[in-house]
Amino acid sequence: MVINIVWVTDIAAMVWQDGQAVSVPVVLDQLKALVDDASRLTWLDASVSTLPQIGELLGLDAHTLEDAQGVRERPKATRLGSYSFATVYGAGLVKTVTTRGRVALAPVSFYMLPTCLVTVRPGGHFDMQPVIERWQSDPRLVQFGVDGLAQGLLDVVVDQQFEVLQGLDDDAEALIAKLFVDNPDLRELQKQTFMVRREVLELRRVVPPMRDVVATLMRAGEAERSWVIELVSYYEDLNDHVLRATEWLDGLRDLVSSIFETNLALNDNHMNQVMKKLAGWAAIIAVPTLITGWFGMNVPYFGFGTVAGFIGSSVVILAAAVVLWFVMRRKDWI
């Protein structure tokens, strides 16, 4: 199937008729007539600048138009009369580390009208090319109508989230490997663990809400448009992937938390080892101090004022220090 994309100012458009892409001139002033044509299926990719005009022509809710232009909106799906509105987030790992780590979120909102799918990508970070390729690789999605187009879009979004989860999982495994090496760099390890933990929390903001998005669209489609069994299976498979992504994210969050806590425990253990060794050496030093203290006394003692007394005290000091060293070494105190 050949994909024909028509560009009108800041709008990309595709039109299908009888499951085949057709070349139809798309004029902004005639969008209403095109969308109302039940014999055709249309996809419009509107920019933020043209969305208000499209919303006025198609009678879209003003609140959803405001949400569609935001870049930090919560993922959600809403049923509004004869159409549905949803906001989701694609994801990816970038090489340049930002204040939020390497996870880059790409918002995309879409309207599911009876014969038209309208997408809006604030910032233009979400790439629609994989979605178009998904529609192209599976012609049944086009045959299913708007619900099929939306399923292809959501499937790409979930696949992107899976790729990010896999990358974070690999990072967590690398942290575990570094955690138990001899003489690990605990400071650097703690910094990397905190960064991965922050990336997991950033992803958690958009992955779990996908369950409600898919569930809302499934309820609306099955109740109002009487989906065929094949389309239901597509959405059930999508829902299964969403649940797996959520469970994977929860497990990854627990794993990173365990790594973080283990890192802190290793820091504490390292500090205890240092304190134990310092205490052992202080005990060894205390014995010579105790013995040499006799030389400062102003009363006679055994060997007072003689060479034999000095030699005897020195021998006792060395013997006591050596014995203490062996005892503490055997107990692994130094």
Q: What is the pLDDT of residues 181-207, one digit of tens each?
A: 777 777 788 888 888 888 998 999 999
What are the residue ranges spanned by the domains of the chain?
Answer: 6-268, 275-330
**Which residues lie across from 86 on neighbouring strands?**
77, 110
Q: What is the pLDDT of residues 130-172, one digit of tens each?
A: 999 999 999 999 999 999 999 999 999 999 999 999 999 999 8
The residue written with tokens 């933990």 in the block is: 197
| pTM to 2 decimal places | 0.77
The residue written with tokens 């138990």 in the block is: 180
Two tokens, residue 79? 């049923």
Which residue, 145, 154, 159, 88, is CA-closest to 113? 145
Give the list of residues 6+ apart from residue 264 with CB closer than 8 angstroms, or none.
190
Two tokens, residue 15? 């039109």
Q: What is the pLDDT of residues 247-293, one digit of tens each?
A: 999 999 998 888 878 777 777 777 777 777 777 777 777 777 766 66
Q: What is the pLDDT of residues 51-77, one digit of tens each?
A: 898 898 889 999 999 999 888 889 999
How far apart are the C-alpha atoms of 158 and 147, rounded to whole Å? 16
Give the list of residues 6+ apart from residue 271 with CB closer than 8 angstroms, or none.
none
6-268, what's its fold?
A: Beta Polymerase; domain 2 (3.30.460)
Which residue, 54, 7, 52, 48, is CA-closest to 28? 54
How far apart are the C-alpha atoms of 146 and 112, rounded to whole Å? 6
pLDDT at 50: 87
Residue 210 has pLDDT above 70, yes or no: yes
Q: Phi/psi at 120 (nearest 5 deg)?
A: -135, 130
